[in-house]
Amino acid sequence: MPSPSGSSSPRGMVLNPVGSSLSQEEIQAEERLRRAEGKLVVCCRNWKRSSSFKKSRRSNRTYYIPHRGHHETQRRHSSSSKSTTNGGPPATIRAPSPQRGGRLPPPPPTNPNSANPGIALVAVVVVLQILEQDRDSHAATIEMYEISLQEHDADKAKVQRLEGELQKVSAELKKQLQNIQNGKDSLMKDYEERLQNTMKKLQRTQEKVDVYKADFETAKANADKYRSEMEKLRAKSDEEKRRMGELMSNEESLQVQLQEARNLNATLVKKVEKKRSEMSVLKEDLSKTNQLMEETTRDHEEMYESRITALEQQLSMSKDRYARLEQEYNERNTAIAEKDNELSQARLKQSEQDNKIEELHHQIEELEKQTERKFEEGKKASKTMETRKVQELVAERANAAREYERRLKAMQEQLRHQSDRHNAEIQETRKRNEKKLEAMKEELREEIRAVEGDKVSKLEFELSKLKRHFEEEKLSLTNKLHDTQQKLRDMSSEYQEQDQIRTQELDQLHDRLNSYFNEIADRDNQIADLTEELENMQRLRSELEGTQREQGEELKKRQEELQKEREKLMDTESRLNDEIITIKSTFSELETTMSSEIQSLRERLEDSEKALDDAHAALKDKDGLEEQMENLRSNYDKPMQNFVPSVLGSKIWKTKHESNWQNCKGSFELANWRGEAKPNTTLRNQIDDVTRRLEAESAAVAAKDREVEELNFEMRTLREKVSNMSKLQDSLRELQQKLDDVESEKREKLSELMDTKAGYESMRSKVLEAEQRYSSLKEEFSSRLEKKENWWSVTIEQSRIWSLIYRKKETTRVT
C-alpha cells in the first residue's frame, strides 16, 4: 500500500527528474494519478475504520437494568479479554489493599482494539493530521513542479530567443547572398560590356583592314597600270628600234651619215638604258612596296585572326563559367527547396505528434475529472454518513460513558465497604455481566442491520463499483503509462545512441570547425594578399588604361597624320600620273618632232649633197675650193654627229657650229677676194639658204633644249617625290611595328588580368563552399535545437557559430 505522502508511486513507478525524456504533461498526469490513489487509499482506510467502529458499537451497545441486592452490580463486565473493546471497563476489579492505603489499583492498560469512541476520534484526528501532512507534501511537490515549469518556460523563452537570433542570422546571410549575387551580376555586366567594347574594337579594326585592303588593291591596280604603260613604252621603243633599223638600211649610200646616225642611236640607246635602269629601280621599289604591303596585310590578318580566336576562347570560357555558375545556383536552389520540404514534413510530423499528445492529455484529463467527480460524490456521501453516524455514536458513547462513570463510582463506594471475601461473587457477577453484554451487542447488531442494512449494502455496493471502475481505469492508465514508458525507454535508448553519435559528430565537427577556422584565417590572409594584388592590378590597369588612352590618342593623331599624308600621297600620285601623262605626251610629241626633223634633215642633206655636188663640180679645178668644201662638209656633218648631244648641250654645239661657219664663210670670202674662184651666184644663194636653215634649226634646237631642261627638272621633282614616298613607307612600317608592340603588351596585360580573374573565381568558389558548409552546420544546429539537446553544447555551438558568422562577415567585407 502506498504511503499518503506521495513519496512512492504505484507498481514501482518512480518520478522522473526534470529534463528527462518524459514531457511535463505526462509527469502531471502521473502526479494526478498518485494523488487519486492516495485519496482512494485514505477513503478505503477511513471506510474500514468506520465499519470497524460500527461493528464495535453494535457489539458494545448494552441495556443496563439495576438489580436489588449486593450481588447484581457490574452486569456489563465480562471475563473474556478478547471481547473487550478500546475504551471499555476494566477486566478485573479488585478491592483496595491495606498497603495502598485503601486505594484501588490502577486500571489495566486499555486494548487498542477495543471499541472506545474517544480513541476512534483520536484515530480520526490522526488521520486528519496525516491528510494535512499529505496535503502539505503535495503542495510542496506542486510548488517544486511549478518552479520546474517556470524554469522550463524560461528555457523555452531562451530557445525562442535563440531561434529569433538564428532567423536574424539567416536574414543577414540571405542579404549577404543577395549582395554576392548582385556583385556577380555586376561583374557579368562589366565583363559583357568589355566583350562588347572589344567586339566593337575588332569591328573597327576589321573595317580598317578592309580599308587597307582596298588601298592595297588600288595600289595593285596602279602598279598594273604602270606595267601596262611600261609595256607600251617598250613597244614604242621597239618600234623606234625598228624605224632606226630601217633608217640604217636606207642610208647605205651615206656611210658618214650612217655612222652619225649610229652614234645618235647609241646615245639614244644609252638614254633608254638609263631610263630602263630607272624604271627597273622604280619597279624594284614598287615590288618592294608591294611585298611590304603584302607582308603587313598578312601580319595584320594573322594578328586579327589570333585576336579573334583569343576573344572567342575568352567568350566561350566566360559562357562556360556563366553556365557553371547558373548550374551551381540551380543546384543550391534545389537543395534549399529539398531542405525546406524536409523541414515542412518534420514540422507536420511534430504537429501531428503534438496533436496526439494533446488528445491523450485531454483523454487523461477527462478520465481524471470523471474519477475525481465520482470520488468527490462518494466522498461527500461517505462524509455526510460518517459525520451523522459519528455524531450519533459520540452522543450515545457520551451517555454510556456518563452512566458507566456513575455506576463505577457507585460500585467503588460499595466495594469500599466490602472486603476481599466478595471477590468470588464479584468474579461470578462479572462473568454474567460479560455474557449479558455480548448478548446485548448481538441484539444491537441485529437491530442496526435491520434498520440500516439497506443503506450500508448500497454503500458497499457503490464502493465496490467505484473500486472496480477505479481498478479498471487504473489498469488501463497503467498499461498506457507502461506502453508510453516503454516507448520512451526505447526512444531514450535511441536518443542516447543518437546523442552519442551526435557527440562524436560534434567532436568531429569541432575539429573540422577548428580546421575551417584555420583555413579561413589562411584564406583571410590569402584574400588580403589578393586584395593587395588586385589593388596593384587595378593601379596597373588604370595606368595601362591611361597609357592606352594616351597611345590611342597618339595613334589617332598618327592615323590622322597618316590619313593626311595618304591624301597628300594620293594627290602627289594623281599629279605624278598627270605629269607622267604629260611627259608621255611630250615624249610622243618629241618623237614626232624628231622624226619630222630627221626627215627634214634627210631632205636637207639630200639638197646639200646636190648643192655640194654642184659646187664640187664647179670647183674641181681649184684645190683650195675643194679643201674649203671638204671643211664646209665636215663642218656641216658635225651637227648631224652632235644632234643628240645637242639635245643635252645645244649651246656648245651652236657656238661651235657658228664658229665653223664663220671660218668657212671667211675662207670663202677670202677666196673670192683673192679672185682665185669665179663668181658663182647660185652657190652663194645656196649657201645663204643653208645658213638660214641652220639658223632656224639652231633656234628650234634651243627651244628643244629648253624643253629638255624642263623635263629634267620634272624628273628630279618626281625622284624627290618617290624618295618622299619611300620615307613615308618607312614611317608607316615603324608605326605598324609600334602598333604591334602595343598590341602584344595589351595581350600580355589581358592574360595577366585573366589569370587574376581565374584566381578570384577560384577564391570565390572556395568562399561559396565555405558558405555551403556553414549552411549545413546551421541546419544541423537547428535540427539539434528542435530535438532538445544539451543546453551547454548548444551554447558552445552558438558561440562558435557567432564567431564563424563574424569571421564570415569580415571575409565578405574584405572581398
Coil, helix or strand at residue 624: helix
| Domain span holding position 27 | 10-93+112-154+361-489
For residue 434, is pLDDT > 50?
A: yes
Q: Which of 138-147, 181-190, 377-386, 662-671 shows the lowest per-residue confidence on average (mean pLDDT)?
A: 662-671
For residue 673, is pLDDT > 50?
A: no
When pLDDT is cut at 50, 70 and 90, the band that residue 675 belongs to is: very low
When pLDDT is cut at 50, 70 and 90, the band that residue 123 belongs to is: confident
Taking the C-alpha atoms of residue 611 and residue 693, their distance in angstroms, rounded to an integer, is 14
When pLDDT is cut at 50, 70 and 90, the band that residue 89 belongs to is: very low
| Residue 376 covered by a domain | yes
Instruction: Name the phi and psi angles at 526, rounded to 5.
Output: -60, -40
Cβ-in-10-Å burial (0-12, 13-18, 19+) of 385 comes to: middle
497: left (phi over 0), alpha (psi -120 to 50) or beta: alpha
When pLDDT is cut at 50, 70 and 90, the band that residue 658 belongs to is: low
- Contact (CB, 8 A) for 296 and 736: yes
When pLDDT is cut at 50, 70 and 90, the band that residue 85 belongs to is: very low
Instruction: Calculate what percentage of the chain has a pLDDT beyond 90.
Output: 0
Taking the C-alpha atoms of residue 815 and residue 547, their distance in angstroms, rounded to an integer, is 28
| Helix H or strand E encompassing 790 | none
Taking the C-alpha atoms of residue 771 and residue 774, their distance in angstroms, rounded to an integer, is 5
Q: Scan for cell 546551421, then name that residue.
A: 778
| Residue 56 covered by a domain | yes
Q: Give me the mean pLDDT over the 376-395 stretch.
A: 73
| Residue 49 covered by a domain | yes
Q: Scan for cell 551547454, then name that residue.
A: 792
Tell me, what's the pLDDT at 254? 56
Q: Which of 75-79, 310-314, 409-413, 808-812 shows the lowest per-residue confidence on average (mean pLDDT)?
A: 75-79
For residue 160, is pLDDT > 70?
A: yes
Joined together, the cell numbers standing for residue 234 give 617598250
Find the Cα–Cα–Cα–Cα dihedral 450, 456, 462, 463, rounded to 10°: -150
Taking the C-alpha atoms of residue 526 and residue 763, their distance in angstroms, rounded to an integer, is 9
Taking the C-alpha atoms of residue 240 and residue 268, their distance in angstroms, rounded to an integer, is 10
- Contact (CB, 8 A) for 433 and 76: yes
Joined together, the cell numbers standing for residue 508 give 568531429
- For the range 445-451, what are the long-range contacts, defined as Cβ-Cβ under 8 Å and sequence gap of 24 or more? 445/55, 445/58, 445/59, 448/54, 448/57, 448/58
pLDDT digits (tens, 9 = 90+) for 466-481: 767 777 877 877 777 7
End-to-end CA distance of the chain: 74
Task: Name the residue with higher pLDDT: 416 or 225.
Answer: 225
Average confidence score pLDDT of the chain: 65
For residue 114, is pLDDT > 50?
A: no
SS3 of 126-186? HHHHHHHHHHHHHHHHHHHHHHHHHHHHHHHHHHHHHHHHHHHHHHHHHHHHHHHHHHHHH
When pLDDT is cut at 50, 70 and 90, the band that residue 653 belongs to is: very low
Coil, helix or strand at residue 584: helix
- Contact (CB, 8 A) for 768 and 328: yes
Q: Give me the mean pLDDT over the 318-345 stretch.
A: 75
Taking the C-alpha atoms of residue 334 and residue 337, their distance in angstroms, rounded to an integer, is 5
Tell me, what's the pLDDT at 97? 42
Tell me, what's the pLDDT at 407? 73
- Contact (CB, 8 A) for 307 and 751: no
Tell me, what's the pLDDT at 612? 56
For residue 222, is pLDDT > 70?
A: yes
Q: Which of 278-282, 306-310, 631-635, 696-700 shows the lowest per-residue confidence on average (mean pLDDT)?
A: 631-635
Joined together, the cell numbers standing for residue 685 give 644663194
When pLDDT is cut at 50, 70 and 90, the band that residue 648 belongs to is: very low
| Residue 632 covered by a domain | no
In sequence order, which residues have a C-beta less than 8 Å from that of residue 482 and are 6 or more positions away? Answer: none
- Contact (CB, 8 A) for 116 and 110: yes
Q: What is 400-417 written as a DSSP string?
A: HHHHHHHHHHHHHHHHHH
- Beta carbons within 10 angstroms of residue 539's beta carbon: 10
Q: What does the angle CA 337 – CA 343 – CA 344 come to, to the nearest 5 degrees?
A: 90
For residue 20, is pLDDT > 50?
A: no
Q: What is 310-360 written as a DSSP string?
A: HHHHHHHHHHHHHHHHHHHHHHHHHHHHHHHHHHHHHHHHHHHHHHHHHHH
Overall number of domains in the chain: 1
DSSP state of 113: T
| Residue 480 covered by a domain | yes
pLDDT digits (tens, 9 = 90+) for 755-800: 766 766 776 676 677 667 666 766 766 666 565 545 555 555 556 6
Taking the C-alpha atoms of residue 768 and residue 786, their distance in angstroms, rounded to an integer, is 27
When pLDDT is cut at 50, 70 and 90, the band that residue 59 belongs to is: low
Taking the C-alpha atoms of residue 57 and residue 76, their distance in angstroms, rounded to an integer, is 14
When pLDDT is cut at 50, 70 and 90, the band that residue 213 belongs to is: confident
| Residue 365 covered by a domain | yes
Taking the C-alpha atoms of residue 48 and residue 34, their distance in angstroms, rounded to an integer, is 21
Taking the C-alpha atoms of residue 460 and residue 468, their distance in angstroms, rounded to an integer, is 12
Taking the C-alpha atoms of residue 717 and residue 576, their distance in angstroms, rounded to an integer, is 10
Q: Give me the mean pLDDT over the 684-705 stretch.
A: 65
Tell me, what's the pLDDT at 777? 67
Going by C-alpha positions, the residue among 784, 262, 141, 179 that lies closest to residue 495 is 784
R_g (Cα) of the chain, nearest Å: 74
- Contact (CB, 8 A) for 378 and 462: yes
764: left (phi over 0), alpha (psi -120 to 50) or beta: alpha
Task: Name the residue with higher pLDDT: 460 or 306.
Answer: 306
SS3 content of the chain, % helix, strand, coil (to 5): 90, 0, 10
Task: Name the residue with higher pLDDT: 655 or 530.
Answer: 530
Find the Cα–Cα–Cα–Cα dihedral 782, 783, 789, 791, rounded to 10°: 0
When pLDDT is cut at 50, 70 and 90, the band that residue 674 belongs to is: very low
DSSP state of 102: S
Joined together, the cell numbers standing for residue 766 give 572556395
The residue length of the chain stands at 815
Q: Which of 32-41, 335-344, 616-625 shows the lowest per-residue confidence on average (mean pLDDT)?
A: 616-625
Tell me, what's the pLDDT at 725? 63
Q: Which of 2-6, 421-425, 435-439, 568-572 shows the lowest per-residue confidence on average (mean pLDDT)?
A: 2-6
Taking the C-alpha atoms of residue 807 and residue 308, their distance in angstroms, rounded to an integer, is 44
DSSP state of 99: G
pLDDT digits (tens, 9 = 90+) for 707-744: 667 766 766 766 676 666 666 667 667 766 766 776 67
| Residue 215 covered by a domain | no
Taking the C-alpha atoms of residue 164 and residue 785, their distance in angstroms, rounded to an integer, is 13
Q: Which of 507-516, 564-573, 762-771, 779-788 shows the lowest per-residue confidence on average (mean pLDDT)?
A: 779-788
| Residue 149 covered by a domain | yes
Q: Scan for cell 623606234, then name that residue.
A: 240
- Contact (CB, 8 A) for 279 and 722: no
Going by C-alpha positions, the residue among 618, 620, 627 that lies closest to residue 670 is 627
Taking the C-alpha atoms of residue 481 and residue 627, their distance in angstroms, rounded to an integer, is 171
679: left (phi over 0), alpha (psi -120 to 50) or beta: beta
Interior/surface letters 603-626, b for 16+ CB within 10 angstroms, e for the rest: ebbeebeebbeebeebbeeeeebe
Angle between helical axes of 255-417 and 681-786 (0-180°, round to 10): 10
Tell me, what's the pLDDT at 479? 77
Taking the C-alpha atoms of residue 2 and residue 92, their distance in angstroms, rounded to an integer, is 41
